């Protein structure tokens, strides 16, 4: 330390120590190959996902903690801008999770600041997909609207978009909310066309798909998350970049959503001052709004029934570092997916593999396979076998959501609380037969080859030699 009295020298010294600590304590968390410990098949876990970071993220978190601004502030402003630029949207609004981002995006459609005929009102319908993550669909119910579940295509893992016309109820349908399953874009060409033709809002749940590309016929490729009116991200550790908990809503075109989203996110307030600022509008005590007394403090004027869904500035500082790694992460995920696909190809009598949607280049969240109906084992047996070999594996989240206890209860309490189109046999097949293993950037070729070997050995081993499962 050159000057013990200088705060910036003290901070530099702390950062130096933090980096030295992190280099030793977190050696295994760096990109693939950074772990000094050798990989021991069957002993070293092969997670389906994990955080990948170095001292840069830890130093950014500590530096921001030293500033002790805490709530969303300068780091948040910078991360929102950098994220929006990286995705190619007009604006990103940070939240404390992907689920909060979905809640915020759907809630924003109820705003009285939108044209009356486009507003989402209680009893209106929103088309969504039967299979996937529960908090893609839950915000529809949480906002008093009715989710209309269409079936899934088990091979892409996505909504079967040929069912969308059948789900449409003129006058009642107000929006479509769909996720890009495991990073695989849904059929954006047909969904965007359908939404435009019928004046419906489109929300892309892009939580699993940061970096995925989709090409509209006759156009250049664009990142998913730029096609709908709004899109959402998650920064939970399993996702492409992480801030621990965290997420964002992206605004693609219509900047009316900025004030609406920030209002719902920040307690429902009408005031649009950034955290720590006041009187941005220049008439904090000069408004006469609705039934409020003249001059009532604009800071305490509420135009929406809002929430508080903000993350911390520290999370944004971590996110800024993670964003610098995004391109490398996306490439590693694609490479890892291809290695698994090639290595497992000979097992196609037993397994069916997820296929990229035509026109897309996915930034894969995981490698999904389906156990064929005639195979001499079930997906549960394969999951148990992988588990026993320390290979992380997951189901396609909630499978057929309509079968989940929360949605069964919802329907039993009120049969009109949701609507189902068709027999959902695709979603049922995903629930019965699909599982996925990891492709995240911390996985090495050795680990992936071990996964291939374990799955191959399980499939080909005569049934009598397979471990008994109950
Ligand atoms: C498609 C999808 N949407 C939303 C979420 C929720 O994100 P979070 O865990 O950040 O709430 C997830 C979580 O994995 C997800 O997979």
* pLDDT top residue among 168 and 276: 168
Contact of 31 with 332, CB cutoff 8 Å: yes
445 pLDDT above the threshold of 60: yes
The closest of 43, 160, 23 to 447, measured between CA atoms, is 43
Supply the pLDDT for residue 463: 60
268 pLDDT above the threshold of 70: yes
Supply the pLDDT for residue 5: 74
- Average pLDDT over all residues of the chain: 95
In this prediction, residues 98-112 reach a mean pLDDT of 98
Count of alpha carbons within 13 angstroms of residue 373, beta-carbon side: 6
In this prediction, residues 80-107 reach a mean pLDDT of 98
Question: Structure tokens of 372?
Answer: 């064929």
Catalytic residue among 239, 298, 385, 389: 239
Helices (H), 267-419: 313-324, 326-344, 379-388, 405-413
User: How close is the Cα of 20 to the center of ligand 1, in Å?
Assistant: 33
CA 57/CA 64 separation, integer angstroms: 11
Contact of 130 with 152, CB cutoff 8 Å: yes
Looking at the chain, the domain(s) classified CATH 3.40.640.10 span: 28-268+303-470
171 pLDDT above the threshold of 80: yes
Supply the pLDDT for residue 35: 79
Supply the pLDDT for residue 464: 47
Q: Which residues line ligand 1 (CB under 6 A)?
A: 97-99, 102, 132-133, 135-136, 179, 205, 207-208, 234, 236, 247, 397
In this prediction, residues 35-63 reach a mean pLDDT of 95
Supply the pLDDT for residue 470: 47
CA 368/CA 397 separation, integer angstroms: 12
Please state the pTM of the whole predicted model: 0.96
Task: Give the number of the atom of ligand 1 that is nearest the alpha carbon of residue 100.
Answer: 11
pLDDT tens track for 275-314: 778 899 899 999 988 899 999 999 999 999 999 999 999 9
Q: In what order do the strands lie in the sheet with 366-371?
A: 351-353, 366-371, 434-438, 393-394
| Catalytic residue flag (residue 385) | no
Task: Give the number of the atom of ligand 1 that is nearest the alpha carbon of residue 97.
Answer: 10
Ligand 1 pocket test: which of 135, 231, 394, 398 has the largest number of ligand atoms within 8 Å of its C-beta?
A: 135
User: How close is the Cα of 438 to the center of ligand 1, in Å?
Assistant: 16
In this prediction, residues 41-63 reach a mean pLDDT of 97
In this prediction, residues 214-226 reach a mean pLDDT of 98
The closest of 389, 368, 361, 348 to 433, measured between CA atoms, is 368
Supply the pLDDT for residue 168: 98
101 pLDDT above the threshold of 60: yes
Task: Give the number of the atom of ligand 1 that is nearest the alpha carbon of residue 102.
Answer: 4
For domain 28-268+303-470, the question of CATH label 3.40.640.10 is answered with yes
Supply the pLDDT for residue 462: 67
Q: In what order do the strands lie in the sheet with 201-205?
A: 91-95, 247-251, 230-234, 201-205, 173-179, 125-129, 146-150, 419-420
In this prediction, residues 217-225 reach a mean pLDDT of 97
- Confidence category of residue 412, pLDDT binned at 50, 70, 90: very high
């Amino acid at each position: 330390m050159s000057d013990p009295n200088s705060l910036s020298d003290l901070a530099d010294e702390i950062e130096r120590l933090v980096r030295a600590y992190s280099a030793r304590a977190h050696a295994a968390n760096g990109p693939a190959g950074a772990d000094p410990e050798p990989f021991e098949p069957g002993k070293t876990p092969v997670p389906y996902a994990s955080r990948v970071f170095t001292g840069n993220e830890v130093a950014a978190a500590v530096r921001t903690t030293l500033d002790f601004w805490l709530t969303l502030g300068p780091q948040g402003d910078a991360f929102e801008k950098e994220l929006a630029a990286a995705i190619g949207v007009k604006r990103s609004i940070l939240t404390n999770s992907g689920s909060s981002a979905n809640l915020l995006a759907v809630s924003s459609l109820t705003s009285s600041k939108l044209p009356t005929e486009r507003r989402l009102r209680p009893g209106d319908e929103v088309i969504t997909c039967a299979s996937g993550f529960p908090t893609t669909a839950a915000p529809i119910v949480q906002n008093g609207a009715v989710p209309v579940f269409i079936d899934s295509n088990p091979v892409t893992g996505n909504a079967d978009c040929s069912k969308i016309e059948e789900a449409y109820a003129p006058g009642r349908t107000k929006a479509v909310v769909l996720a890009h399953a495991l990073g695989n874009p849904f059929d954006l060409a047909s969904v965007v066309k359908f939404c435009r033709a019928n004046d419906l809002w489109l929300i892309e749940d892009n939580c699993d798909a940061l970096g995925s590309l989709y090409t509209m016929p006759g156009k250049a490729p664009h990142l998913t998350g730029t096609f709908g009116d709004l899109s959402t991200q998650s920064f939970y550790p399993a996702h492409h970049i992480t801030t621990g908990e965290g997420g964002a809503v992206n605004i693609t075109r219509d900047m009316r959503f900025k004030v609406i989203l920030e209002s719902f996110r920040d307690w429902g307030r009408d005031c649009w001052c950034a955290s720590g600022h006041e009187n941005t509008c220049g008439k904090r005590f000069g408004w006469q709004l609705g039934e409020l007394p003249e001059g009532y403090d604009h800071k305490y004027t509420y135009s929406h029934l809002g929430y508080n869904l903000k993350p911390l500035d520290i999370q944004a500082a971590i996110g800024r570092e993670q964003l610098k790694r995004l391109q490398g992460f996306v490439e590693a995920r694609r490479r890892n997916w291809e290695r698994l696909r090639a290595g497992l190809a000979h097992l196609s009598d037993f397994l069916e593999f997820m296929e990229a949607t035509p026109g897309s280049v996915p930034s894969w969240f995981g490698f999904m396979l389906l156990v064929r109906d005639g195979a001499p084992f079930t997906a549960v047996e394969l999951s148990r076998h992988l588990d026993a070999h320390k290979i992380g594996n997951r189901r396609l989240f909630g499978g057929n959501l309509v079968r989940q206890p929360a949605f069964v209860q919802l329907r039993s309490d009120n049969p009109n609380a949701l609507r189902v189109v068709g027999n959902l046999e695709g979603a049922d097949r995903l629930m019965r037969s699909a599982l996925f293993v990891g492709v995240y950037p911390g996985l090495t070729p050795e680990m992936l080859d071990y996964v291939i070997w374990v799955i191959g050995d399980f499939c080909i081993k005569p049934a009598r030699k397979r471990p008994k499962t109950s």
